[in-house]
Amino acid sequence: MDEIVQKAGVLVEALPYIKKFRGKEVLIKYGGAAMDDENNRLNVLQDLVFMNYVGIKPILIHGGGPAITAALKIAGVESKFIDGLRVTDQTTIEVVVDTLGEINKNIVHDLNHLGARAIGLGHGNEILIVKKLSKPADVGFVGEVIDVNTKPIKEITDYGIIPVIYTIGLDEQGQLYNVNADEAAAKIAGAVGVQKMIVLTNVRGVLRNGQNPASLISSCSAEEINTMIKSGTIAGGMIPKVKACVTALNTGVRKAHIIDGRMPHSLLLEIFTDKGIGTEITP
Amino acid sequence: MDEIVQKAGVLVEALPYIKKFRGKEVLIKYGGAAMDDENNRLNVLQDLVFMNYVGIKPILIHGGGPAITAALKIAGVESKFIDGLRVTDQTTIEVVVDTLGEINKNIVHDLNHLGARAIGLGHGNEILIVKKLSKPADVGFVGEVIDVNTKPIKEITDYGIIPVIYTIGLDEQGQLYNVNADEAAAKIAGAVGVQKMIVLTNVRGVLRNGQNPASLISSCSAEEINTMIKSGTIAGGMIPKVKACVTALNTGVRKAHIIDGRMPHSLLLEIFTDKGIGTEITP
Amino acid sequence: MDEIVQKAGVLVEALPYIKKFRGKEVLIKYGGAAMDDENNRLNVLQDLVFMNYVGIKPILIHGGGPAITAALKIAGVESKFIDGLRVTDQTTIEVVVDTLGEINKNIVHDLNHLGARAIGLGHGNEILIVKKLSKPADVGFVGEVIDVNTKPIKEITDYGIIPVIYTIGLDEQGQLYNVNADEAAAKIAGAVGVQKMIVLTNVRGVLRNGQNPASLISSCSAEEINTMIKSGTIAGGMIPKVKACVTALNTGVRKAHIIDGRMPHSLLLEIFTDKGIGTEITP
Amino acid sequence: MDEIVQKAGVLVEALPYIKKFRGKEVLIKYGGAAMDDENNRLNVLQDLVFMNYVGIKPILIHGGGPAITAALKIAGVESKFIDGLRVTDQTTIEVVVDTLGEINKNIVHDLNHLGARAIGLGHGNEILIVKKLSKPADVGFVGEVIDVNTKPIKEITDYGIIPVIYTIGLDEQGQLYNVNADEAAAKIAGAVGVQKMIVLTNVRGVLRNGQNPASLISSCSAEEINTMIKSGTIAGGMIPKVKACVTALNTGVRKAHIIDGRMPHSLLLEIFTDKGIGTEITP
Amino acid sequence: MDEIVQKAGVLVEALPYIKKFRGKEVLIKYGGAAMDDENNRLNVLQDLVFMNYVGIKPILIHGGGPAITAALKIAGVESKFIDGLRVTDQTTIEVVVDTLGEINKNIVHDLNHLGARAIGLGHGNEILIVKKLSKPADVGFVGEVIDVNTKPIKEITDYGIIPVIYTIGLDEQGQLYNVNADEAAAKIAGAVGVQKMIVLTNVRGVLRNGQNPASLISSCSAEEINTMIKSGTIAGGMIPKVKACVTALNTGVRKAHIIDGRMPHSLLLEIFTDKGIGTEITP
Amino acid sequence: MDEIVQKAGVLVEALPYIKKFRGKEVLIKYGGAAMDDENNRLNVLQDLVFMNYVGIKPILIHGGGPAITAALKIAGVESKFIDGLRVTDQTTIEVVVDTLGEINKNIVHDLNHLGARAIGLGHGNEILIVKKLSKPADVGFVGEVIDVNTKPIKEITDYGIIPVIYTIGLDEQGQLYNVNADEAAAKIAGAVGVQKMIVLTNVRGVLRNGQNPASLISSCSAEEINTMIKSGTIAGGMIPKVKACVTALNTGVRKAHIIDGRMPHSLLLEIFTDKGIGTEITP
C-alpha cells in the first residue's frame, strides 16, 4: 500500500509542469535510429499519449531513417550522394513517399490504439510548400520549405488530436519533393508558434567532446551554437539538428531541446523536470 | 464550354439529396471482394470524401475478406470451419487483428490524403463489447456483440471526421474476439441511430433468381426478407448480409441497402438518386 | 444507368476544387442587370447554396441596379447625376434604403428556402462606416468607406451561414449614406481577407476590344489593369469594377475575377475549373 | 439624474426574471390583428430582441391574418368556408404561401436590423410534416401536423439566433398545405419542449363573460379550459387558441399564456412580472 | 536519474485508468472530519486538480461538518436533535448557509489557485428543489430533495470546470432548507448520471466488525448492504452513507465507493488502481 | 399597470446600448472606499450581473483598500511608507495576499449567487508577471508589471464567465509582489484590448476645483490630463487613477472613465447613457 501511495504522489508532483504546458503546442521531431527499437518506439508513443491526455498539444514530425535506405535497396535504386544530399530522381521520391506513408500509418494507428486521437498529415494535405533546392547542388527532387500551411495542423490540435506529419513537400505545380525532416520540423515549429521544439536523437545531446558522453552541454544559447559549429565542436550529423533548433528559435520558438530518444520516457522527463535532460538551446 | 456548363448543372442537381442527408450519419459496410480491385477501392474512398465534404457523416465499417485468408496461409495457420464459422484460436485471432489493422491503416491514410479527415477505430478504442459465441458451435475467439460504445464514434463524426472501424471486439477480461463484420455493422448502425446503412457487396443486390442479375429486387420489407430466407430464395453468403440489414432496421435504422460495390461510385448513386440502385430494405 | 454513373463522376471531379476552397471566404459581388432575369437569379443562388454545402464560405454583396431607378420613378424623385454620381437627397436615400432592403429580404428568404442558411446584413448592423464623399463633387448622402466592421460577417460565416449584405453605410452621427456596391465589396473583401472576390456582371469580362466578346482577356495583373484604364482600353461602367478589384488585391485578396453572371452557374464554373471563365486579375 | 438612476434600477429589477428564463426556449405565436398596427408590431419585435439579448431563446410562429384575405381578393380568388375552414385549392395555397413568405421576410429583416439575429424558416426547411385534413370536412390543401422536424429550430436557437416560422406544411409527396398557425405553434412547442408558449391576441385573455374585459380569468388549468369550452363560456375565435394551449400543455410545455398583443411590450410584461397579464393556463 | 525515469514510468502506468474515465463525470462527496486536517484537505484538492487535468469531470459535493457546530455555538444557537436530525429554525438555517458558503468559497478559491478551474454552486443556483421533511419528525427547515436542476452542473463540467456544490435546497416559495449532504450527493449523482460516486469519510470503509479495521469489506452489492443494515453489521453514522450509495446505484450510477479521506491521495488511488481501496458497492 | 408598462419601456430603451457593447470586453477597476458600503457593493455586483446577462464581457479588477490596513494592524505589522509606497516585507506581502484572496472569494461567491458565473484569478493563475519596483525607492516586494498573461482571462470571458482578478504578481522566480491595482488594471486593459476601462472611485470624477463637485470635467483628452497633472489641477490620490487611464488609452483602449462608485448603479448608467457620468478620458 505504501508503494501505491508513493505512486499517487508522483502523479501529483507532475501538476506544476502540466499546468505550465497545457493548452500549448510542443513539437517533437522523431526520426532515424530512435525509431528502430520497438521498446523505445512504444515509450515515445506512450509519452505522446500522456501529453495529449493532460491537455498538452504535441505535434509529431517524423522522418524515415534506415527504413528508406532499406526500401530503396529492395526497389533496386542505387543511393548516390552529392554534398551529403541524396540524389533524388522520380523513382527515388516515389519510394521515399511510400516508405514515409507506411511509417506514418503505423504511428497514427498505434497512437489511436493507445487511446489518444491522431491524424496523419502528409503531401495530400499540402502542409509544406517548397521550391527545388539548388544549393549546394541540384540533386533532383529535394526541396527547400518556402511556406507552411498551418491551418490543418492547428485545427487538429484544437480538437485535441495529435497531428503526425511526414515531410514531403509540394511545389506550385504539385510535384513532390523530399524535405529534410529537421528543417521541416523547424519551419513548422516557427510557423505554428510552438512553445517548445524537442529533437529526439540517438545521442545524449550536444557534447563538448564528441567522444565523451560526460561532456554533455546542458544549456547554451543559439549564438553559442553558431560559435561551436564554426570551431568544429559540433560536427557531422549533429549540425543539421542544431541548425534546425536555431532556425526555430529565430522564428519565435521559446526553447529547443536535443535529447536522447533511447532513454525510456525521455520526452516526459524533458517536460516534467525543471533541469531537463539533453541539451537545451535558448534564443 | 457547353459540356462544362452541363457539369456545373450536375453539381446543382445534387442539392436536394445533399440537403436531405447533411448532418446525418450514414453507415457503410465495406468488405470482401469489393476491396480487392484498386480502382473500385479508390472510387469508394472518393465517394466517402465527397459525402464528408457535403456535410454527410459517413461511418465506415470494414472487414478483411481475402486478405485474412492470405495472411493465415502465410502464417501457416490451417483454416478450419465448423458450421460456416472459422475456428479461431489465439494464433488465428492475432493474425486477424494484424491484418485488419493493416487494412484499416491504409484506408485511413488514403482518406486523409484525398483531403477528408479520417480516424481509425478498433479494439484499442473498445467499441465492441462481446461475449464468446456459443451457438451454433464453440469455435474459439469468435464473439457476439452485446454492447456498442458509441461515444468515440459520435465525437469523431461531430468533428466532421470519418470513423473507419474494424470489427474486433473485447470481452470484460480484455480478450480479443473476431466479430462478423456484417453483424457488427448492424449493431453499430442501430446503436448510433444512423439514417441509412449501406452494405457494399460484389453482387447487384438481392436477386429473385440467384442465377439471373435481371431478377434484382429493388425494394422489399424486412418481413419479405424473412419469408425469402425461409423459402430459400435468399441463400448462401447473402443470408448474413440481409440478416444484418433486418437487425439494423429492427433497432431504428430507417433504411438498409445492399448494393454492388464494383459499380463505379455506387455509393454516390445510392445517395443521390431517388430510385437508388441495388436492393433497398425497409422496416 | 451509364449517364447516371457519369453524373456521379462529375461530383467526384469537383473534389480537388472543393478541397482547395473549403473553409475559406469567397466574396461575390452581385448586382445590376445580372439580377433581373429570374432564371439567372436562381442559378446564382443555387451556386451559393452549393458552395455553402461543400464548406466554402460565400459572402454576398448586392446592389440594387434597375430596381432603384424604378423605385425612384414611382416615388416621383427625379434622377440627377453629377460626374456620374447620383445626387442623393434625404428622400432619395430613403428610397434607396427601402429598395435595397426589399431585394435583400428576397435573397435571404430564397437562400433559406433552397436549404442554405442566410442572414441579411445592412445599415442596422453597422458594417460600413463612411464619411461624406466630397470628390469629385458633393452629391449629398453618398459615402466613402472609411472602416469596415467585420465582426458580424465573420461570426456568421463561422456558423456556416451566408451573410447577404447591402451597401448602405453610416457616419459617426448615424446618418445613412449610399455607397457604391463595387467599392464596398472591395473594402469588405480586403477587411475580411477573403481568398477570392468575384464580380458578377452582364458582360463576358474585360475585353481588349469593347465591341468584340472574342477579345476577352483571360488573365492580367493589377498593373496591367491600370495601364489599360489610362490607355482607354477599359472604359465606362467597367472602370469602377476593375478599380474595385485592384483595391481588393491591394489589401491582401489573392485573386479577383470579373465574370458573366448571365451564363448559367458561372460562379461554380469559376470555382470548379482551373482555367476559369471571364477575366482573372492577380496582384 | 434621479430619473436616470431609477431607470438603472428597473434594469436590475429584471435580473431574477432573466435568470429564470435565460437559456430556455419560449415560443411566441403572433398573428392576425396584433400584426396590423405598425407601432404594436415594433413593440413586439423589440421585445423579442430584448429577450434574445438577455439569453432567452424566443421562437416566433406567425400567421398571415388579414393580409391573406387581402391578397386573395387581389388575386381574384373567392373565399369559401366549410365548417369554418377556408376551402384551399392550388391557387389559394400559392397565394397563402407567397403572402406568408412576404410577412416572414419582413419580420426577419426587421429583427436583424434591430440588432438581433433572425432566420426565416418555412416549407423550404421542412419543419411541418402534415397529412390532408379530412375532418370535419375535406377543404383541399389544409393539413394536420403529424410530425415536426425540430432540428433546424434547435440548431438556430443554439446559435443565439431567433427562428421566425410560418406554418406551411408538406406531405410525403412534397405537396404544400396550409396549417392553422395556433395548432402548428402548439405542435412545435411540444416537440421542441419549450418552457412557455405565449399566444399574442387582440383581446385581453380568456374572459368569464365575453362582453366584459373586467371578467378576465388570470389563471386556470387545462381541465378548467375544457369545462369552459363545453359550457360555452369560451366560444368563437378563442376556442382554437385555448385548444392549442391545451395541446401544448399535454405534450410537456409547462405554461401557456393568452395575452393582449395590443398592449405595449406585453411580451416583456408577461416574462418580467410574477403576476403576469392575460390568462395563464397550467397543465 | 534512475529514480526520475521510474517516476516517468509511474505517469505512463496511469494511462489505462485515465483512458477509462476521461470525459466521464465522477462525483465526490467530501465532508466532516476529512476536511479538518489541512494536509488532507490539500491532498484531496490536488487529486481533484489532477483528475481535471487528465480530462475526468469531477463534481465535488461538500458538507460543513464540525464547522457548522462551531458556528452555531459562536452564534449562541443551542443544538437540539430529534431522531438524529438537527432542529433547524430560521436562525440555524442562516448560520448553516453562511458557514457552507464560507467553506465553498475557500475550496473554489484553492482549486483555482492550484491551476484548475472551479465554480461554486449553491442555493443561488437553484440546484436542489426540496420539500420539507416530515418524517421521522418535523424538525423545521430540513428538506428532502424532490428535484435536481442538473443544467448548471453539466454546463460547467462541459467547459472543463469543476463544480463545487454545497447542499442547501429551496422549496417552491424560495425558502431555504438544509439537506443532508450524503442524500444530496446521491440525488445529484443519479440525476447527472455520473460514472462513479465516491464518499470520502474518516473510516477505512464498511467494516464487518466495526471495531476492527482489518475486517474491511472490499466489495459488496447493494442488496448485501441492505442485509447488513438489517442485521446491524452496519450501524451509526455509516448508515446514511451506505444508503446514499444504494440510492445512487438505484438511479443508474455504476459504482459507489466509501473510502478513507485521511489516506493521502486516496481519491487518485481509488481511480488509478484496479483493486481500489475502501469499500466498493455495486448495483 | 401603467407604471409596469413604463418599466418595460425602460428595458427596451437600453437596447441600443446593449447592442453597442455586447460581445465586447469592459474592464472595471473597483476598489478602496467604494467597496466598504454593503449596499453599494451589492449595486456594483448587480450591475456586473446585468452586463453579463446582456452579453457584455465585464472583467473585474479589485484592490483591497481599507481591509488591508486593518489586516496588517491585526497581524501587528506596522505600516511604513516611502514616497507614498507601502514598505512591503515578506510578512506584509503574505497579509496582503491573504486579504485580497479573502475579498476575491467573497466577490466571486456573491456574483455566482446572484446568477452570473464568475471565476477568481490571482497569483495562482500567473496573470501578472512583474519585476521589483526600484523607483522611486526600493520598498520591498512591490512590483511593476512587465507582462500580462491574457489567456486565462480571454478563455473565461469567451465562456460568458466574469473573471474577478486581484493584483498580486510574480517574478520569474515565483516570488509574490504587491502591484498597484490601478496600474495592473491599465496593463490588463491594454493587453486584453478592452473596449472601455471604468475606474470606480469615491469621488464624482476629475474636478477642475478639487473642493467643488460642481466643477466636474465631463470629458477630456489624455493630453489634457497630462497638462492638468503638471499644473496641479489633478493632485493626490487622483493622480495614479488618471495615469492608469492614460496608460490604458496609450495601449489601444478606446475610452477610460473615472466615475463615482457610491452612486447607485453608476456602472449601468455609464454604459447605458450617451452622456455618461463622471469623467470620460479619450486618447
Per the CB < 8 A criterion, the answer to whether D265 and D203 are in contact is no
Could you tell me the pLDDT band of residue A66, with boundaries at 50, 70 and 90? confident
Q: What is the pLDDT of residues D53-80, one digit of tens each?
A: 999 999 999 998 788 989 999 999 888 8
Closest by Cβ to E11, choosing from A10, A55, A277: A10
Q: What pLDDT, on the 0 to 100 scale, is given for residue F1?
A: 57
DSSP labels, chain D: -HHHHHHHHHHHHTHHHHHHHTTSEEEEEE-GGGGTSHHHHHHHHHHHHHHHHTT-EEEEEE--THHHHHHHHHTTPPP-EETTEEPB-HHHHHHHHHHHHHHHHHHHHHHHHTT--EEEE-GGGT-EEEEE--SS---BSBEEEEEE--HHHHHHHHTT-EEEEE-EEE-TT--EEE--HHHHHHHHHHHHT-SEEEEEESSSS-BSSTT-GGGB--EEEHHHHHHHHHHTSS-TTHHHHHHHHHHHHHTT-SEEEEEETTSTTHHHHHHT-SS-SSEEEE-
Q: What is the pLDDT of residues A109-118, one digit of tens each?
A: 999 999 899 9
Residue partners of A58: CB distance under 8 A and separation at least 6: A25, A26, A27, A28, A48, A51, A52, A162
Q: What is the pLDDT of residues B108-145, one digit of tens each?
A: 999 999 989 999 999 989 999 999 998 878 899 999 99
Could you tell me the pLDDT band of residue C99, with boundaries at 50, 70 and 90? very high
Query: What are the C-alpha distances in Å from B174 to residues B124, B125, B131, F213?
Result: 10, 12, 11, 78
Q: What pLDDT, on the 0 to 100 scale, is given for residue B275?
A: 66
Q: Which residue type sits at B252?
A: G
- The residue among D5 and E19 whose pLDDT is bigger is E19
Closest by Cβ to A112, choosing from B117, B119, B159: B119
Interval D146-160 mean pLDDT:
94
Handedness of CA A48, A49, A50, A51 (dihedral sign): positive
Q: What pLDDT, on the 0 to 100 scale, is given for residue C143?
A: 95
Biggest alpha carbon–alpha carbon distance for chain D: 65
How large a percentage of chain A has pLDDT more than 70? 98
Q: What pLDDT, on the 0 to 100 scale, is given for residue C135?
A: 81
Residue B8 has pLDDT above 90, yes or no: no
Least confident of B206-220, C141-155, D178-192: B206-220
Preferred mutation among F5, F7, F21, F51 to probe D, highest tally of D CBs within 10 A: F7
In chain D, residues with a C-beta closer than 8 Å to the C-beta of F15 are: 46, 49-50, 53, 114-115
CATH class of the domain at C22-282:
alpha beta
Per the CB < 8 A criterion, the answer to whether D203 and D260 are in contact is yes
Fold of the D13-282 domain: Carbamate kinase (3.40.1160)
DSSP labels, E4-44: HHHHHHHHHHTHHHHHHHTTSEEEEEE-GGGGTSHHHHHHH
Q: What crossing angle do the helices spanning B90-113 and B38-53 adopt, rounded to 10°?
A: 60
Least confident of A57-61, B93-97, D252-256, D271-275: D271-275
- Collect all residues from C whose CB is shorter than 8 A from any CB in B: 4-5, 7-16, 18-19, 22, 43, 46-47, 49-50, 53-55, 114-115, 263-265, 268-269, 272-273, 277
How large a percentage of chain C has pLDDT more than 90? 65
Shortest CA distance from F17: residue in chain D: D115
Task: Classify burial at A234, counting beta carbons within 10 Å of its beta carbon; exposed 0-12, middle 13-18, buried 19 or more.
Answer: buried
What CATH superfamily is the domain B21-282? Answer: Acetylglutamate kinase-like (3.40.1160.10)
Interval D21-48 mean pLDDT:
88
Q: What pLDDT, on the 0 to 100 scale, is given for residue F275?
A: 67
Q: How many CA atoms lie within 13 A of D280 on its CB side?
A: 13
Residue C155 has pLDDT above 80, yes or no: yes
Could you tell me the pLDDT band of residue B9, with boundaries at 50, 70 and 90? confident
Handedness of CA C209, C215, C216, C219 (dihedral sign): negative
Kindly report the average pLDDT of chain A as a whole number: 91
Q: Do C54 and B49 touch (CB under 8 A)?
A: no
Least confident of C97-111, D104-118, D213-227, E77-91: E77-91
Query: Quick one: residue B133, left, alpha or beta (phi over 0 = left, psi -120 to 50 = alpha)?
Result: beta
- All 3 cell numbers of residue C227? 495601364
Could you tell me the pLDDT band of residue B1, with boundaries at 50, 70 and 90? low
Per the CB < 8 A criterion, the answer to whether C113 and C157 are in contact is no
E strand segments, A35-142:
57-62, 81-82, 85-86, 118-121, 128-132
Q: Which residue type sits at C65?
A: G
Q: Which residue type sits at A7?
A: K
Question: Does the domain formed by E74-179 have CATH 3.20.20.70?
Answer: no
- All 3 cell numbers of residue D238? 378563442
Query: What are the C-alpha distances in Å from D94 to residues A162, D74, D77?
Result: 54, 13, 11
Q: What pLDDT, on the 0 to 100 scale, is given for residue F132?
A: 95
Interval E104-123 mean pLDDT:
93
Q: What is the pLDDT of residues A9-22, one digit of tens each?
A: 888 888 989 999 99
Q: How many CA atoms lie within 13 A of F199 on its CB side?
A: 33
Q: What crossing angle do the helices spanning E66-74 and E90-113 adopt, rounded to 10°?
A: 130
Residue A8 has pLDDT above 90, yes or no: no
Q: What is the pLDDT of residues F240-269, one digit of tens each?
A: 999 999 999 999 999 999 999 888 899 998
Q: What is the pLDDT of residues B23-66, one digit of tens each?
A: 999 999 998 766 778 888 999 999 999 999 999 999 999 998 78
Q: What pLDDT, on the 0 to 100 scale, is given for residue A1?
A: 57
Could you tell me the pLDDT band of residue E275, with boundaries at 50, 70 and 90? low
CA-nearest of A42, C265, D178 to E9 is A42
If you search the block for the grid coordinates 545524449, which residue do you land on?
A204
Strand E128-132 relative to strand E81-82, pairing = unpaired
Judging contact as 3 or more Cβ pairs under 8 Å, the answer for A and D is no
Chain pair A-B, CB pairs under 8 angstroms: 56
Q: Which residue type sits at C195?
A: Q
Query: Alpha-carbon distance A121 to B109, whole Å?
Result: 9
Task: Classify burial at D256, counting beta carbons within 10 Å of its beta carbon; exposed 0-12, middle 13-18, buried 19 or more.
Answer: buried
Closest by Cβ to B11, choosing from C10, C114, C115: C10
Q: Which residues pair with D209 in a beta bridge?
A: none
Closest by Cβ to B104, choosing from A109, A119, A125: A109
Residue B161 has pLDDT above 80, yes or no: yes
Q: What pLDDT, on the 0 to 100 scale, is given for residue C86?
A: 86
In chain F, residues with a C-beta closer than 8 Å to the C-beta of D269 are: 4-5, 8
Query: Quick one: residue A83, left, alpha or beta (phi over 0 = left, psi -120 to 50 = alpha)?
Result: left
Q: What pLDDT, on the 0 to 100 scale, is given for residue D33?
A: 66
Q: What pLDDT, on the 0 to 100 scale, is given for residue C1?
A: 57
Task: Classify burial at B172, counting beta carbons within 10 Å of its beta carbon; exposed 0-12, middle 13-18, buried 19 or more.
Answer: exposed
Closest by Cβ to C109, choosing from D104, D115, D156: D104
Q: What pLDDT, on the 0 to 100 scale, is given for residue D140?
A: 93
Q: What pLDDT, on the 0 to 100 scale, is given for residue A162?
A: 97
Residue A161 has pLDDT above 60, yes or no: yes
Residue C268 has pLDDT above 70, yes or no: yes
Q: What pLDDT, on the 0 to 100 scale, is given for residue B39?
A: 84
Top mean-pLDDT range of A29-43, C27-41, C142-156, F65-79:
C142-156
Could you tell me the pLDDT band of residue C144, with boundaries at 50, 70 and 90? very high
Interval A243-267 mean pLDDT:
93
Give me the count of residues in chain A.
283
Closest by Cβ to D112, choosing from C106, C117, C125: C125
Q: Do F105 and E105 touch (CB under 8 A)?
A: yes
DSSP reduced 3-state for B210: coil
Judging contact as 3 or more Cβ pairs under 8 Å, the answer for E and F is yes
Domain boundaries, chain F: 22-282
Residue partners of F37: CB distance under 8 A and separation at least 6: F262
The ipTM (two decimal places) reads 0.87
From first to last of its 283 residues, chain F has per-residue pLDDT tens of 577 778 888 888 889 899 999 999 999 999 876 677 888 899 999 999 999 999 999 999 999 878 898 999 999 988 888 877 889 999 999 999 999 999 999 999 999 999 899 999 999 899 999 999 988 788 999 999 999 999 999 999 999 999 999 999 999 898 999 999 999 999 999 999 999 999 999 888 999 887 788 899 999 999 999 999 999 899 888 999 999 999 999 999 999 999 998 888 999 988 887 667 899 999 9
CA-nearest of F79, F182, F181, F83 to F136 is F83
Q: Which residues pair with A199 in a beta bridge?
A: A29, A258
CA-nearest of E208, E230, E232 to E219 is E208
Per the CB < 8 A criterion, the answer to whether E153 and E122 are in contact is no
Q: What pLDDT, on the 0 to 100 scale, is given for residue D35?
A: 76
Q: What pLDDT, on the 0 to 100 scale, is given for residue F33?
A: 66
- Collect all residues from D whose CB is shorter than 8 A from any CB in F: 1, 4-5, 7-16, 18-19, 22, 43, 46-47, 49-50, 53-55, 114-115, 263-265, 268-269, 272-273
Fold of the E186-283 domain: Carbamate kinase (3.40.1160)
Give me the count of residues in chain F.
283
Record the pTM.
Answer: 0.87
Query: Alpha-carbon distance A279 to A215, whole Å?
Result: 11
Chain pair A-E, CB pairs under 8 angstroms: 91
CA-nearest of D194, D197, D200, D125 to D166 is D125
Biggest alpha carbon–alpha carbon distance for chain F: 65
In chain E, residues with a C-beta closer than 8 Å to the C-beta of F156 are: 117
Preferred mutation among C2, C6, C7 to probe B, highest tally of B CBs within 10 A: C7
